[in-house]
Amino acid sequence: MTINYDVIVIGGGTGGYPAAIRAAQLGMTVACVERRETLGGTCLNVGCIPSKALLHSSELLVEAREGLAQHGIIAGAVDFDLSQMLGRKDKVVADLTKGVAFLFRKNRIDWIRGTARFETANRLRIDTHDEPDRVIEARKAIIIATGSEVATLPGVTIDERRIVSSTGALALPDVPRRLAVIGGGYIGLELGSVWQRLGSQVTVVEYLDRIVPGMDSEIATQLHRLLAQQGMDFRLQTRVVRADASDEGVRLTTEPSSGGDPTSLDADVVLVAVGRKPFTASLGLETIGLELDEKGRVPVGRTFESRVAGVYAVGDVIAGPMLAHKSTLDGVMCAEGLAGRVVDVDYARVPSVIYTSPEVATIGRNEEELTAAGVAYKRGVFPFTANSRARCNGDTRGMVKILADAGTDAILGVHIIGPDAGTMISEAVLAMDFGGSSEDVTLVVHPHPTLSESLKEAALVLQGQGMHI
């Protein structure tokens, strides 16, 4: 029997489940097809959430060992229980995935556990555990929200034992003595930080001449220096040729990115963190004539509709940054459009955060991008060493940088490295969303003493009115 819905969402991750919930809130009947046994997608199950749980636990360990003495708190030898730490991480994930399932029940969304394949532009055949040939149809739209999967590297075979993806790196049964991380992006640096804090000797191998490519170079340089101070080793401009795994460990064969003599790097575990790629396998897109672009993404228009009428796509399967909150924006806006409401999406106003210690947060364009585009700009920089709350807390690493148009003073970019940067960036997002200027930020009263005062202070510096530096 064929069951009809207004909207069917394929994928229950951070793009799919918000799309389903918002569509239901707007009065549509909704089904969501998810192949996992839990909702939440990569982010909730094996990405953002479990990694942040481990980052927080491992940072507390470092704080107990190295940070308490400056406050006059004398602790004995501090140790940790890895199995308990991993168990806590798993409980956080379980609680949150159950929360999403509750939201589906609350909003009367049918959650179908299985995999979907297009038969026509409005009909899907679902393969479930108990009903192999279930068919469902959509009266209004089918939304592809299948997310992304780990990108692989030629010559490096992931076995999730010696050579692991980010998924495997979240569940290592023991702390490896030597961990090699292939890729100097946010995933590699975050997970590398976890295991470095727990005792691993971490070496990051990056093909380019700097870590976190695309980030403001001044911020990236500071992050590199601070992570190196923590004990992380970096091999830049280095290409991994192959990885040979054995019961004893892994030997990486590397060479200079520009070519040259090969060298080797031995590790107990290798983490492959070279990015992610859209996941659209087995959807049967060829059946409905939906062609992907050169990067395997679904091309969509302003309302997220693909070139096939009635078929939409959101999140990591379309262009734009592969970020959970960007996917949520896509999903919600897609549902709004289906209800006839205004769709307004500007990826230039989507922030990104690296949850290392210190954190890094950014929105808008950086100095290199502005210079390359020939945009005249002003900059204001304020270091946390001059922030009173940072002094009180005992963590003065980093700075806030604001970039504004030299003529109009409109904020073009904000880049923060320092404590709680991921929270602080939201004020910059709000300012840019409303077309704010650096002068606008100087006029906002910030409570004292707070870390967020540094944003105002950077704006004051940009205006030539800096009072605390």
List active site positions: 448
Strands 201-205 vs 233-235: parallel, antiparallel or unpaired: parallel
Nearest Cα neighbor of 272 from 389, 180, 376, 399 is 180
Between CA 37 and CA 43 the distance in angstroms is 14
Torsion from C-alpha of 411, 417, 419, 420, nearest 10 degrees: 50
Q: Look at residue 227 and give its three-state secondary structure.
A: helix
Between CA 418 and CA 452 the distance in angstroms is 11
Between CA 135 and CA 124 the distance in angstroms is 6
Q: Look at residue 135 and give its three-state secondary structure.
A: strand
On the question of a cis peptide bond just before residue 173, with omega within 30 degrees of 0, the verdict is: no
User: What is the secondary structure of 54-65 as a DSSP string?
Assistant: HHHHHHHHHIII
Between CA 213 and CA 375 the distance in angstroms is 21
The 10 Å Cβ neighbour count of residue 371 is 12
Between CA 268 and CA 266 the distance in angstroms is 7
226 within 8 A of 288, measured Cβ to Cβ: no
The 10 Å Cβ neighbour count of residue 325 is 17
DSSP state of 297: P
In the numeric block, which tokens belong to residue 42?
Answer: 């990569």
CA angle 380/384/389 to nearest 5° reads 125
In the numeric block, which tokens belong to residue 258?
Answer: 């520009």
Nearest Cα neighbor of 359 from 285, 435, 417, 429 is 417
In the numeric block, which tokens belong to residue 150?
Answer: 């780990």
* Length of the chain (residues): 469
287 within 8 A of 105, measured Cβ to Cβ: no
- Rounded to whole angstroms, what are the CA distances from 175 to 93, 192, 322? 21, 12, 29
